[in-house]
Amino acid sequence: MRDPILLTPGPLSTTLATKTAMLHDWGSWDSGFNRLTADICRRLVALIDGGEEYACVPMQGSGTFAVEAAIGSLLPRDGKLLVLCNGAYGKRMARLAEVMGRAVTILDFGETAPVDPARVAQRLASDLAITHVGVIYCETSTGILNPLREIADVVARAGKRLVIDAMSALGALPLSARETPFDAVIASANKCLEGVPGMGFVLVRRHSLEAAQGNAHSLSLDLYDQWRYLQQTGQWRYTPPTHVVAALSAALDQFDAEGGRPARLARYQANCDMLLEGLQQLDLQPFLPAAIQAPVIVTAHAPTHPAWRFDAFYQRVKAYGVVLYPGKLTELETFRIGCIGAIGQAEIQLALDAMAHALTEMRIRN
Ligand SMILES: *Cc1c(COP(=O)(O)O)cnc(C)c1O
């Protein structure tokens, strides 16, 4: 039987080739595995046009582990982080900085507006203690696209360092170190790169890494130490997620074969367009205006019908082989449908049909 299609923010549907890459056992000390790690790192740096200036530091764990490692290692103990926040992942970045005892301040844009670069400039001018700025490229809790290049320019002009959580964007949305100034970008294997969950990575300016010794609050999340060890031995510090690395390598082969980032973006955009049009036919209202909708995940308002229950809807849609995701908004009832992963128009059509059947069965729709 086929696995359900995951229309979620991740983990996502992966191809058979990616799954079968995990059918081998790798020794972490083995030179073959070390070559695999080095090769992945080289390809990920190339993905952002990082050249010699940037290094890739892989990190075990889910994406949040990599965010925590990046913030904890790049922000000096006496530094101050400004987090540009318009959803749950911005809040999470601020929270993890707070938990590790760093000075952190939030610039909040609510949940329906993108980050406004002019307000960022104002805040940077009025709080000179800020050393670093954290931003979420695509805020996955709603699907909002933030104007990264404009934000990066404002931050660079103020002489501050930018850390980008591009978890749900890297591999699809444009991001080049040649065009956008930043210190670090964080992502994981299991979103737009279509690998499996278990590792994140930070693409970081070598200069900033070299200055990061002794900053970390944590032994296992020390990006500097992880990088140093990798440089000296070719190995991960502590047990690597070997199968996840092998799957990412296979996923990157398929990424290249598809036509790289522009082709992936085009596929996701077509998925997103089809989804938005289909939702309209089902009388389901998208939460975001089209102009700020990233082709990553769509948030829809729950129907106002008294028979609506997300759990019941979810179960019925799942019975047709499609997995949706609950909303992540504080005030409104919504749910989310992903556009990313190893899926195309056929899977989106299946999802729309499944939602139509479910709404009919629940007597929300005739
Ligand atoms: C998925 C995601 C993360 C990481 O979440 P994990 O559950 O730790 O993998 C962080 N930021 C954004 C924007 C994300 O979409």
Render pLDDT for 8-19 as a digit per residue (tens, 0 to 9): 998 999 999 999
**pLDDT for position 324:** 95
- 18-256 has which fold? Aspartate Aminotransferase; domain 2 (3.40.640)
Q: Which residue has the least CA distance to atom 3 on ligand 1?
A: 63
Atom of ligand 1 nearest to the CA of 136: 13
Q: Does the 5-9+259-361 domain belong in CATH 2.40.50.100?
A: no
Measured CA to CA in angstroms, residue 258 lies from 18, 39, 251, 255, 262 at distances of: 14, 19, 10, 5, 9
Whole-prediction pTM: 0.97
Q: What angle do CA 32, 37, 39 make, to 5 degrees?
A: 90
Task: Please give the distance, rounded to the nearest whole angstrom, from the Cα atom of residue 361 to the centre of ligand 1.
Answer: 33
Atom of ligand 1 nearest to the CA of 139: 13
Measured CA to CA in angstroms, residue 191 lies from 61, 62, 64, 184, 188 at distances of: 14, 11, 13, 18, 7
DSSP 3-state of 293: strand
DSSP state string for 218-232: -STT-HHHHHHHHHH
Per-residue pLDDT tens digits for 204-226: 999 999 999 999 999 999 999 99
Question: Does residue 10's CB lie within 6 angstroms of at least one atom of ligand 1?
Answer: yes
Question: Does residue 136's CB lie within 6 angstroms of at least one atom of ligand 1?
Answer: yes
Residue ranges of the chain with pLDDT lower than 50?
A: none
What are the domain boundaries of the chain? 5-9+259-361, 18-256
Q: Which residue has the least CA distance to atom 9 on ligand 1?
A: 63
